[in-house]
Each structure stands twice: as structure tokens, then as C-alpha cells.
Amino acid sequence: MHRIRSLVLPVLLGILLVGCGVLPEKPRKSVYQGESFAAEETFSRLFDADVNDTCEAARRALLSQGYVISKAGSGIVQGAKHFQPEGEVHVEIAFNVVCVGDGPKQQVATAYVSAQQDRYALKKSPNAASLGVSAIGSISVPLSSSQDSMVKVASETIPAGEFYDRFFTLMQRMLRENTEH
């Protein structure tokens, strides 16, 4: 009997600790440790044009897809587009393009591009009102109305190489069309 108690007590204690979440968690790998800083071309492409023409091609590519340009000039283009994939979900994609001259006479340029996707969800907050009655005190009465607000629930840099490949292909087309005219 004593032997059974000596076995049961540690098992029960272990179950109790697991239930309370006291056992140490497995250490999580930090996000920055996944950064390889490899020489991949996911976020950049070299174009056979100067900085101004390269950034103009980026601006036109974004405009042609419905992006609203918030900044364009000095080798930088920024634009954003809004989506509503579901009734109570809102997504925004924000593009940042930086064009940098390369070569001895800066006759070619590299476009560095990153796009960030922010996801918002509708949050409903019920409203309540308080009534003050001098003899009784205050009474909180729930109202049937609610206040809706969009809350950011996720944000990430889009990592998909195919996404950027499509953008760079469109940029190249815009660059060709601009030089043909």
C-alpha cells in the first residue's frame, strides 16, 4: 500500500502541474533566428534602366493594379491596396519600392521591393449606460447597441517569391512600354 502511494503521489503532482501550466514550456525559436540573409533575389531585381525610369515603372505597375500611391520620387515608391475577402475581415497590402542606381554611370538600377500584409477583423463592443437614482444609487443597464471597430489581428511581410516575380514581370513590361513611346 505504501508503495502504491509513493507511485501515485508523483503522478498526481505531475498532472496537477501540467493542468496549472507550471511545467516549463519548450523554448520558442525567435523569429529573427529564421532570417537567413541569403543572396536570394526574392525581393530585388536588376533593370536595364536608370533609377527614375525603374521607379516610374514600379509606380505604373502598382497603379495598373489599383494601388493608391502615397509616395513617389527620390528613388522611392509606396502604395497600398485594400481588400475585403470576407464580411468582417479587411486586408491591406502596402508596397515599398526602393530604386538604387548600379554600374559606373548608374545606367542600370536595382529595385528592392517588399510588401506587407495587414489583416483586420471587426470587433464589437457592447455599450452600457448607467442610471443614477439618488435613493438607490447607480444602476448599469446594458443597451442593445454595440460599437464596431476594426482591429489589426495580423501583420507580416509577404514572403512568396511568385508574388514578387509577377510584380517584377509587370514592372519590366511597364518599362518596355515607357521606352517604346
**Lowest pLDDT segment from 76-80, 120-124, 165-169:** 120-124
Q: Does domain 40-82+92-116+155-181 have CATH number 3.30.310.80?
A: yes
Report yes or no on whether pTM surpasses 0.75.
Answer: no
Structure confidence by residue, pLDDT tens digits, 101-159 = 998 888 999 999 999 999 999 888 766 555 555 666 665 555 555 677 889 999 999 99
Structure confidence by residue, pLDDT tens digits, 25-70 = 667 777 778 777 777 778 999 999 999 999 999 999 999 999 999 9
Which residues 6+ apart lie within 8 Å of 22 measured at CB?
none
Using alpha carbons, list the distances in angstroms from residue 23 to 5, 6, 17. Answer: 22, 21, 6
pLDDT of residue 8: 55
Query: What CA–CA distance (Å, rounded) separates 55 from 67?
Result: 15
